[in-house]
Chain A
């Protein structure tokens, strides 16, 4: 039976994993390779590494971190942040990523999705969408949530899928970092609009939140960053609770 995936997300700044509270007060949470290996040992089904600064200046640092993290990681590994062209994507794949996540780059030029998918396969292309609730709908934001695009999230998800995206990583900006639960309505609307898997992100705070987003949000996977650092929510324990609630999960790992 296909299981629901639990994905651990590492936000990286200058080659280190950081954790912020509502995007501020960034705290050092360790080395990306060590964090990724620890999450995988604990039962994470996938690892996502997001370079949250993604300036050209620290590109080398980022690729080094990807290389070191991928070296002894044998679960799917996605890397995002600052991928604007095919060459950026190729460099990240060369460093050891299995999938790349693109966000602003895809909104600015949707053909980037089909070009990367054409060369590396759709399974390697995750389109990340940051969405905020506006007038009853959801608007897509880019540039780390700073720039509104006027695009409607569900429509954009459909377009991204049609361009060859393999998965949608959907973040509710309203919930991000709040630990107040996923936005199940947003997730369900997108999950029902596309045939590709949807990864829910933003708002994870407890096992109950994951149960709801899998049941009510129809998510195929759920991602969390902050709660998995510093051991607030242990992935193994989370999976036990999901299994007890009859949500299919990979267990034992």
Chain B
């Protein structure tokens, strides 16, 4: 069972719908017990980095970290990926999970912000999540803060600078783009996650 974590950061219908479409057994929950019992965890989220503070208040943070470190496949989408880093300029006083090094920053003033639309991915070979995804495939982004390119970055996009489109360490995955809104490419990525 795949569990989509609901911490009141936006609309989770699209993520749920995409997993349904792929035939996955999926549940949306804000309950720690349900998350702890799930086989796989998806942490979606849109909006402000501070909305992730709800994870601390509800005790979900520990459950998520325990699951991820226990080897449970974990997928952070958009804000959910940013949470996997150390923190974000958007809300400096709140710490992320720190699974990936570095902090999320605002795009430079040379480009319009937010970054909205379809951008291409430079894919690094060997990613399990991006298996079968062609070089320069397009995915849909909508965000104002970006995560840095680090050793664990498996795909990068360019918008004023290079930033992390996807990261991966063991069974812990993060994507800055929205696979549930990225057509066939996005569905293939979610299918890969289902099959990890």
Contact = CB atoms under 8 A, between A and B. Distances in A.
A98 B112 contact: no
B120 A1 contact: yes
Interface in B1-50: 9-11, 13-14, 17-18, 21, 46-48
Contacts of A71: 17
B140 interface: yes
Interface stretch (B67-75, B82-90, B96-104, B181-189): B181-189
A115 interface: no
A232 interface: no
A121 B142 CA distance: 11
Contacts of B120: 1, 3
B138 interface: yes
A250 interface: yes
A121 B46 contact: yes
B117 A221 contact: yes
A250 B13 contact: no
Interface residues of A, number: 31
B118 A250 contact: yes
Given A74-B182, A121-B47, A166-B142, A45 B116 contact: no
Given A5-B117, A121-B47, A123-B116, A253 B183 contact: yes
Nearest to B48: A121
Nearest to A5: B117
Contacts, number: 90
A227 interface: no
Interface in A199-222: 220-221
B168 interface: no
Nearest to A75: B183
Nearest to B180: A74
Contacts of B118: 2-3, 5, 45, 250
A131 interface: no
Interface residues of B, number: 33
Contacts of B181: 74-76, 98
B17 A70 contact: yes
A167 B116 contact: yes
A22 B114 CA distance: 34
A72 B22 CA distance: 11
A105 interface: no
B159 interface: yes
Interface string B103-126: 000000000111111111000000
Interface of B: 9-11, 13-14, 17-18, 21, 46-48, 112-120, 138, 140, 142-143, 158-159, 180-184, 186-187
The 5 closest A-B pairs by CB, nearest first: A121-B47, A123-B142, A121-B46, A250-B118, A250-B138
Interface of A: 1-5, 40, 45, 70-72, 74-76, 93-94, 96, 98, 120-124, 166-167, 195-197, 220-221, 250, 253
28 contacts: A1-B119, A1-B158, A2-B115, A2-B117, A2-B159, A3-B120, A4-B117, A74-B180, A74-B183, A74-B187, A75-B140, A75-B181, A76-B140, A93-B11, A93-B13, A96-B13, A98-B181, A121-B10, A121-B46, A121-B48, A124-B46, A166-B114, A166-B116, A220-B117, A221-B117, A253-B138, A253-B183, A253-B184
